Amino acid sequence: MLIQSTDSFGGETATIDSKDIAILCARIADDKKGEDIIIFDVQRLTSITNYFVICSGLNKKQLQSMATDIQLKLQNYNIREIGREGYTGAQWILMDYGDVIVHLFNKDMRRFYDLELLWGDAPKLSWNPPY
């Protein structure tokens, strides 16, 4: 999926693909102090999506803050969620952007569902920001 975005002054157009969206989501979560952030490239393993972004947070407020920030920043690229689950309880927030699915977990839920084991055959995508 390629998305084109125009800046707020009607000038430059940027193009962002699903890989870029996944990396952007990981970096936004990192900016909000998300932990153990992984991006799996699952496009050869499933037809559901291309990338899973998986991240842990310490508490409900942090997880909700990450979800809100991801949503708002992706809206700057005219990228809208297809669906969202778990925001209120904030134990596992799932954000569906079509080619990218973001999973924001508290530590207990992440251990319980262990998506890293389920999707461990998928290659990991490097996303780490330059520090």
Tokens of 100: 């990218």
Could you read off the pLDDT of 27-52 as tens digits, one per residue?
Answer: 999 999 999 999 999 999 999 999 99
Confidence band of 12 (pLDDT split at 50, 70, 90): low
Considering the domain boundaries, does residue 12 fall inside one? no
Domain that holds residue 29: 18-118
Per-residue pLDDT reduced to its tens digit, 47-92? 999 999 999 999 999 999 999 999 999 999 999 999 999 999 999 9
Tell me if 131 is assigned to some domain.
Answer: no
CATH number, position 51: 3.30.460.10
Instruction: From residue 59, give the alpha-carbon distance in Å to each of 19, 33, 92, 106, 128.
Output: 28, 11, 11, 7, 23
Global pTM value = 0.86
DSSP letter at 124 equals: B
Residue 107's nearest CA partner among 41, 62, 50, 40 is 62
- Rounded to an integer, the average pLDDT of 109-130 is 91
In a domain, 126, yes or no: no
Question: What secondary structure, in 3-state letters, does 46-111 show?
Answer: CCCCCEEEEEEECCHHHHHHHHHHHHHHHHCCCCCCCEEECCCCCCEEEEECCCEEEEEEEHHHHH
Per DSSP, the three-state class of 14 is strand
Q: How many domains does the chain have?
A: 1
**Residue 31 belongs to some domain of the structure:** yes
Q: Residue 10's pLDDT band (boundaries 50, 70, 90)?
A: low
- Asked whether residue 89 is domain-assigned, the answer is yes
